[in-house]
């Protein structure tokens, strides 16, 4: 008798679970606000060097003859090193040198963005690396947050960790909006990035720990759909709020609504039982049973108490044994090959997902519409998983979606520049399919790693994924060199990863490997069948919180 059996008596997705579950889905929307806000907070509009005679509020537009007299062809970061006298500007005096000088100030096109952190602190030209670094450090915060708040939730509990991270998110979200300079803004945003792991991760874990195993795939995917809704709503905020500081505040304040969850959302009964706090757990179970209009037999409570005591004894025995490490996955040839392939898949999925999400401003056309579509296509991407993942197989979906993403993104090389709508369409097909791939890799990885090192393997995979997310912001800079370049890089990585994933064994309807030996033999042509296990895929989509954490 385990807690999953209690859930069966309680109702796998009863009225009580539905109410708490949907409440816990809402914070995913605010986490999406913070993760995608950088697209607008650090928006880089068209700009040019301010000419010596211009005021700071000058219009971006200039007559063509003035462009020719002031700027070398294709250059906006330098101007000709001449005296900009009235006679020169009138064309009376010819230009006698091609020497240029750097800008001392800039003029921005404010037709699309009133301002942004980029325009306020002139993060353009030789300072353009600063904007990408700010987003990169935000993703570093996500990585650190997954470690810090993950440990906190296991030691202190899910509920206090959720509210601690929420309060920190509110405080530093506002501090980022009032930051007087780049350094304090970037540090504040990095801390906000860490808290997205705390808020989303803990809400996700509580939600999955209170639903039955047959609903976990739906529960994990549906929560990701709420993240996608937040993705789209970010564009709505940006449409109405054109000042980046007010936009940051507007995206932060909805988090205040979730403070009332303190009196609504319970601690995880599963965690309470694990920590031996059975009386508190039984109160929550009784409350759920009352709302679901069922009764839990006393015998079940007694068996749970016995099981918790037995689990403590087992933990004490295993505590004396050496802990599993990632090196256990790299010690044997077949297991090492599979592990490295999985690591590469995680790196590519995270890097391509965020690379495409943050590159919408470089696609041309209406930037807000591009961003909105980029979020909307995630919904069918996740829906695809619900209908195909348990029918067509994990490897088929993972490889198929990554190959389609790679082909569609690489196809932009051959699209004529005047067919911008087709470039956008190819990019969105790539975004839809990489979203499906990102959702699949969590389940596929959990089923590949042996039980004894499964948590270690998933943790290491998640860390590799965060490296992809940390590097993704720099793709935007490559888009300034050549607009299709980010799509080509993402496409090439997706295509390579999709092809290499064919080397991984299918796991659908296969028993999960238990020991290192099972993991080494699994997938070999002469392998022995791993020992059967009834544990199923209880970790389905558990890692999806981490990336996108979190």
Region 65-71 average pLDDT:
88
Tell whether 133 and 250 lie within a shared domain.
yes
Q: For position 15, what pLDDT does the model report? A: 92
Q: Is residue 115 assigned to a domain?
A: no
pLDDT digits (tens, 9 = 90+) for 150-170: 888 888 888 999 999 999 999
Tell me: do 26 and 93 sit in the same domain. Answer: no
Q: Which DSSP symbol is given to 457? A: H
Same domain, residue pair 314 and 438: no
CA distance 334 to 361: 43
Residue 116 falls inside a structural domain: no
* pLDDT for residue 84: 86
- Ranges of H-type helices in 293-417: 298-319, 327-330, 333-358, 367-376, 378-392, 394-410
Q: Each residue of 105-121: b (16+ CB within 10 Å) or e?
A: ebbbebeebeebbbbeb
Residue 534: predicted pLDDT: 36
322 pLDDT band, cuts 50/70/90, is: low
pLDDT the model gives residue 411: 94
Poorest-pLDDT segment among 312-316, 402-406, 496-500: 312-316
Q: Could you tell me the pLDDT band of residue 123, with boundaries at 50, 70 and 90?
A: very high
Interval 447-489: pLDDT, tens: 888 877 877 788 888 889 989 999 999 988 887 778 889 999 9
pLDDT in tens, 327-373: 888 888 898 999 999 999 999 999 999 999 988 888 877 889 999 99
**Whole-angstrom distance, CA of residue 209 vs CA of residue 153:** 13
Within this chain, do residues 20 and 160 fall inside the same structural domain, yes or no? Answer: yes
Same domain for 62 and 133?
Answer: no
Cα dist. 519→3, 332, 513, 530 in Å?
A: 28, 9, 5, 8
The C-alpha atoms of residue 188 and residue 170 are separated, in whole angstroms, by 11
Question: Which residue's structure tokens are 């392939």?
Answer: 341
Q: Is 257 a domain residue?
A: yes
**Whole-number pLDDT of residue 541:** 43
* 190 and 313 inside one domain: yes
Tokens of residue 19, six digits: 């109410």
pLDDT band for position 171 (cuts 50, 70, 90): very high
Number of structural domains, the chain? Answer: 3
Instruction: Let me know: does 158 contact 493? Beta carbons within 8 Å.
Output: no
Q: Are residues 460 and 445 in the same domain?
A: yes
pLDDT at 305 over 80: no
Q: What is the pLDDT of residues 189-240, one digit of tens each?
A: 999 999 998 898 888 888 888 888 788 788 888 888 999 999 999 999 999 9
Residue 319: pLDDT band with limits 50, 70, 90: low
Nearest one of 414, 413, 411 to 430, comparing CA atoms? 411
pLDDT at 539: 47
**DSSP, residue by residue, 35-66:** HHTHHHHT----EEEPPTT--TT--S---HHH
For the ranges 85-99, 228-242, 305-319, 501-515, the one whose mean pLDDT is highest: 228-242
Higher pLDDT, 273 or 496: 496
Same domain (yes/no): 466, 491: yes
Going by C-alpha positions, the residue among 157, 162, 225 that lies closest to residue 217 is 225
Query: At 428, which CATH number?
Result: 1.20.1250.20
Q: Shortest CA distance to 65 belongs to which of 89, 82, 94?
A: 89
pTM (two decimals): 0.87
The arithmetic mean of pLDDT across residues 279-283, rounded, is 87
| Percentage of residues of the chain with pLDDT beyond 90 | 45
Q: Give me the chain's average pLDDT, please.
A: 86
Q: Give the per-residue pLDDT at 93.
A: 86
Predicted confidence (pLDDT) per residue in 393-404, tens digit: 889 999 999 999
Length of the chain: 550
Q: Which of 401-410, 426-435, 528-537 has the lowest mean pLDDT?
A: 528-537
The boundaries of the domain holding residue 473 are 322-550
Best CA proximity match to 261, nearest among 62, 19, 476, 66: 19
Tokens at 485, concatenated: 């370049």
Classify residue 301 as exposed, middle or buried by CB count within 10 Å of its CB (0-12, 13-18, 19+). Answer: middle
**What CA–CA distance (Å, rounded) separates 203 from 226?**
12
Answer yes or no: do 369 and 517 share one domain: yes
At 533, the pLDDT band (50, 70, 90 cuts) reads very low
Same domain membership, residue 177 and residue 53: no
**Per-residue pLDDT, 146:** 85
Spacing of C-alpha 329 from chain mean position:
26
The answer as to whether 119 is a domain residue is no
Same domain, 86 and 137: no
**114 in a domain, yes or no?**
no
Beta strands 47-49 and 78-80: pairing type? unpaired
- Is 2 within 8 Å of 278 (Cβ atoms)? no
Calpha distance 300→47 (Å, rounded): 69
- Give the integer Cα–Cα distance in Å for 194 and 166: 11
Is 117 within a domain?
no
% of the chain with per-residue pLDDT over 70? 92
pLDDT of residue 137: 96
DSSP 547: B
According to the model, what pLDDT value does residue 257 have? 94
Output the pLDDT for position 435.
Answer: 94
Q: Answer whether residue 118 is part of any domain.
A: no
Question: End of a domain among 281, 301, 321?
Answer: 321
Residue 387 and residue 435: Cα distance in Å, rounded? 15
pLDDT of residue 316: 63
Kindly state whether residue 311 falls inside one of the protein's structural domains: yes
Same domain, 329 and 190: no
Task: Write down which residue in 64, 80, 109 finishes a domain.
Answer: 109
Asked if residue 246 has pLDDT above 50, the reply is yes
Nearest to 375 by CA among 244, 224, 526: 224
Q: Point out the domain boundary residue: 269, 297, 321.
A: 321
């Amino acid at each position: 008798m385990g807690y999953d059996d209690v859930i069966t008596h309680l109702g796998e997705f009863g009225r009580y679970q539905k109410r708490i579950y949907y409440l816990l889905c809402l914070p995913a929307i605010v986490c999406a606000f913070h993760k995608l806000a950088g697209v607008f907070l650090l928006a880089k509009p068209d700009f040019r060097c301010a000419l010596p005679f211009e005021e700071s509020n000058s219009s971006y537009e200039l007559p063509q003859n003035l462009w020719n007299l002031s700027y070398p062809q294709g250059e906006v970061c330098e101007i000709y090193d001449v005296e900009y006298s009235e006679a020169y500007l009138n064309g009376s005096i010819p230009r006698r040198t091609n020497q240029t000088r750097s800008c001392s100030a800039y003029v921005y096109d404010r037709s699309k963005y009133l301002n942004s952190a980029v325009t306020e602190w002139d993060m353009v030209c030789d300072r353009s690396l600063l904007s990408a670094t700010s987003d990169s450090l935000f993703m570093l915060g996500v990585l650190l947050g997954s470690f810090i708040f993950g440990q906190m939730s296991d030691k202190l509990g899910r509920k206090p960790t959720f509210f601690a991270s929420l309060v920190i998110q509110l405080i530093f979200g506002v501090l980022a909006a009032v930051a007087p300079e780049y350094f304090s803004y970037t540090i504040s945003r990095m801390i906000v990035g860490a808290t997205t792991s705390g808020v989303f991760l803990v809400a996700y874990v509580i939600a999955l720990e209170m639903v039955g195993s047959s609903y976990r795939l739906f529960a994990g995917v549906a929560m990701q759909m709420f993240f996608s809704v937040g993705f789209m709503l970010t564009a709505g905020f940006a449409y109405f709020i054109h000042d980046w500081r007010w936009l940051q505040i507007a995206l932060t304040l909805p988090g205040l609504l979730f403070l009332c969850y303190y009196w609504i959302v319970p601690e995880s009964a599963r965690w309470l039982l694990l920590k031996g706090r059975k009386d508190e757990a039984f109160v929550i179970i009784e409350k759920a049973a009352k709302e679901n209009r069922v009764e839990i037999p006393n015998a079940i409570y007694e068996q749970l108490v016995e099981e918790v005591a037995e689990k403590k004894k087992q933990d004490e025995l295993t505590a004396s044994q050496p802990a599993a490490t990632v090196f256990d996955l790299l010690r044997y040839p077949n297991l090492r090959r599979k592990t490295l392939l999985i690591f590469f898949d995680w790196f590519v999925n995270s890097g391509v997902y965020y690379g495409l999400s943050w590159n919408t401003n470089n696609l041309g056309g209406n930037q807000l519409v591009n961003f909105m579509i980029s979020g909307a296509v995630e919904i069918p991407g996740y829906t695809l998983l619900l209908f195909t993942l348990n029918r067509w197989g994990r490897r088929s979906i993972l490889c198929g979606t990554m190959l389609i993403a790679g082909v569609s993104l690489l196809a932009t090389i051959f699209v004529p520049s005047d067919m911008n709508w087709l470039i956008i369409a190819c990019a969105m097909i790539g975004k839809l399919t990489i979203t499906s791939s990102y959702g699949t890799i969590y389940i596929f990885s959990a089923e590949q790693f042996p039980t004894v090192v499964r948590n270690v393997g998933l943790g290491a995979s998640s860390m590799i994924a965060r490296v992809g997310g940390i590097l993704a912001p720099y793709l935007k800079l490559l888009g300034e060199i050549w607009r299709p370049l980010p799509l080509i890089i993402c496409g090439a990585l997706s295509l390579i990863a999709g092809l290499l994933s064919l080397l991984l064994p299918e796991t659908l309807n296969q028993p999960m490997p238990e020991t290192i030996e099972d993991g080494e033999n699994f997938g070999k042509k002469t392998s022995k069948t791993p020992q059967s296990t009834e544990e199923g895929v209880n970790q389905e989509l558990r890692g999806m919180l981490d990336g996108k954490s979190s």
